[in-house]
Amino acid sequence: MKFPKQVQTRSFATGRVVLALILREMSTRYGRSPGGYIWAVLEPLGAIMMMSFAFSLMLRSPALGNSFILFYASGFLPFTLYNSNASKVAGALTFSKPLLAYPSVTWMDSVLARFLLNTLTTAVVAYLLLTSILILTNSKSVLDVAPIVVAMALAALLGLGIGTLNCVLTGLFPTWTSIWGIITRPLFIGSGIIFNYEDMPRNLQDVLWYNPLVHIVDYMRTGIYPSFHAEHFSLPYVMAWILIPFALGLVLLQRHHKDIISD
């Protein structure tokens, strides 16, 4: 099946614009600081090591396996991918505002560029960290790649969905950034990063189940710990959290992106 020439030309132009925006952000985000991309690896590694050291002083063994650093990495990495995507996508229009005055650059190009760059960067960092941890620690884990890839993809898409909706809300209501920060502050603790969902009391499980990140983190761990099974994992529920905010965000951005850019 052949696509019309106009569609092919537009797709090629969009691809070039997105690539140009990605290269611009790479130089802005990583090119102006000493170390550049090295910090993208060192920051999550430092956070994981600090958590591992702190909890190793209080606990004899992690909730799963025998390696504290691997257990916390298995939760921290998908959470970081979601959180960074949600943050970067939410600020897409603000970051690319000077360029959106050009007819060839659209708000969708800006959103896609930030999503793709952040997802690829965080995925590479996650691969490097997991590989290093498995080599340097005596975890004896045999990874099942499929659940890990699916969990990271879900985390990335969840960040895209939430970020797209927040892109509109922060553009129309600047105070929403502070409100969202307050609302989601307990999210790190309530996403199963530092504990195992199945070890929690039943009444707390009933509340935490509604957090889609709990599903994603535990599904990630099924690919790292062969004996662990996330019985509570619900793919339709996670997809609802991805698709509904994303669809709503797209509709609102289509309607209000000019108002956001002109402010």
pLDDT at 11: 53
Q: Which of 77, 83, 97, 88 is nearest to 116 (CA)?
A: 88
Residue 5 confidence (pLDDT): 47
Total domains in the chain come to 1
What integer pLDDT is reported at residue 3 of this predicted model?
Answer: 45
pLDDT at res. 193: 87
Per-residue model confidence (pLDDT) at position 96: 79
Domain coverage including residue 14: 5-262
3-state secondary structure the chain: CCCCHHHHHHHHHHHHHHHHHHHHHHHHHCCCCCCCCHHHHHHHHHHHHHHHHHHHHHCCCCCCCCCHHHHHHHHHHHHHHHHHHHHHHHCHHHHCCCHHHCCCCCHHHHHHHHHHHHHHHHHHHHHHHHHHHHHHCCCCCCCCHHHHHHHHHHHHHHHHHHHHHHHHHHHHCCCHHHHHHHHCHHHCHHHCCCCCHHHCCHHHHHHHCCCHHHHHHHHHHHCCCCCCCCCCCCHHHHHHHHHHHHHHHHHHHHHHHHHHHHC
Q: Are 74 and 230 in contact (CB under 8 A)?
A: no
- Beta carbons of 129 and 45 less than 8 angstroms apart: yes
Per-residue pLDDT of the chain (263 residues; tens, 9 = 90+): 444 544 344 454 567 788 888 877 777 766 665 556 676 666 777 777 776 666 666 666 677 877 788 888 889 899 999 999 999 999 888 887 877 777 778 888 889 999 999 998 888 888 888 888 887 776 667 788 999 999 999 999 999 999 999 999 998 898 998 999 899 988 988 998 888 888 888 899 999 999 999 999 999 999 998 888 888 999 999 999 999 999 999 999 999 888 888 76
Give me the pLDDT at residue 16, please: 78
Q: Is the dihedral of CA 76, 81, 86, 92 positive or negative?
A: positive
The per-residue pLDDT for 159 is: 96
Spell out the residues 6+ positions from residue 228 whose beta carbon is closer than 8 angstroms to its own.
64, 218, 221, 222
CA triplet 19, 24, 28: central angle to 5 degrees? 145
Q: Over 102-148, what HEC string results?
A: CCCCCHHHHHHHHHHHHHHHHHHHHHHHHHHHHHHCCCCCCCCHHHH
